[in-house]
Amino acid sequence: MPPEMTGSDISPARGFIAEHAHYDDDLGFWEAHADRLGGPVCDLGAAAGRVTVRIAAHGHEVWAVDTDPEMLEVLMERAAAEGVGALVHPVVGSMTDPLPVHDAGLVAVPMNSLQLLLDPADRLACLVHSSRGLRPGGEMIFDLAMPHLEVTADLRGCILDTGHSLDADNGDLLLHTATFDDVDTATGDVALRLMIERIRPDGSRATVERGHRLHLYDPDEVPPLAEAAGLHVVCVHGGFRDEPLSADSERHVWRLAKEPA
């Protein structure tokens, strides 16, 4: 999804790559499930290809869906540089659109992207279209942040230090912070801003800010959605290494399967 930027001459898509380059906890997870289920794979909310390119490097055909054409342009540049451009098919579209394939082995929705769907009808549409696009035995897999809504509400307005990283392309130091502007404990919807301060090697600074409205799912919300979409829950874990789900988990990771014919 396209980030909003201020005070920087780096394009949103290229900035997005650098801002997320340090996050790789889930990459082995997606690679392993793509290998297990086989292609074609549909990556919903593919952005600049963080997951798409890695799955294609395992020899799988990937349909990369995102609303932002610039993200997909950069994704294809990265795929070409890794020698997998022929395996990647960029599609400008939404997570609520019908899938561009009808026999997918895996529909992947990485990095909490399903949380961008605020309307319950959109959430159901995403799962319904995923179910229709999967072949029998295929799976839709996604990760979500655990809500912890009461704690989040107490943090409203606080500037949270979320770490730092380096932009390998230019040596910029990236300082990551975030703040919750609004938290609705009744609906689970939140307004979140992510701020990245770029400190260049010459000492000059630029600020990048991305605002999102998100829905934080309670784990109890997912099984009824899956059933309504014609999918069944294979399992839910508290992390990418099959950790048990608990109230203290940072995320819930779901595998939903389409029944074999």
Predicted confidence (pLDDT) per residue in 99-153, tens digit: 999 999 999 999 999 999 999 999 999 999 999 999 999 999 999 999 999 999 9
**11: number of Cβ within 10 Å:** 16
92 closest CA partner among 117, 72, 62: 72
Is the separation of the CB atoms in 57 and 51 below 8 Å?
no
Q: Which parts of the chain have pLDDT scores under 70?
A: 1-9, 261
Residue 261: per-residue pLDDT: 62
Residue 8: per-residue pLDDT: 55
Residue 4: per-residue pLDDT: 38
Dist. CA 111–CA 54, nearest whole Å? 14
Dist. CA 10–CA 227, nearest whole Å? 43
Is the separation of the CB atoms in 154 and 160 below 8 Å?
no
Residue 6: per-residue pLDDT: 44
Alpha-carbon Rg of the chain, whole angstroms? 18
> How many H helices and E strands in the chain?
7, 11
- In degrees, to the nearest 5, what angle opens at C-alpha 11 toward C-alphas 212 and 202? 110
What's the burial of 29, exposed, middle or buried (CB within 10 Å: 0-12/13-18/19+)? buried
Residue 170: per-residue pLDDT: 85
Q: Which domains does the chain have, with CATH numbers?
A: 12-146+218-258 (3.40.50.150), 149-215 (2.20.25)
This prediction's pTM: 0.92
Dist. CA 91–CA 160, nearest whole Å? 35
Residue 5: per-residue pLDDT: 37
Q: What residues contact 56, with CB distance under 8 A and at least 6 apart?
A: 62, 79, 82, 84, 87, 88
Q: What residues contact 37, with CB distance under 8 A and at least 6 apart?
A: 105, 106, 137, 138, 139
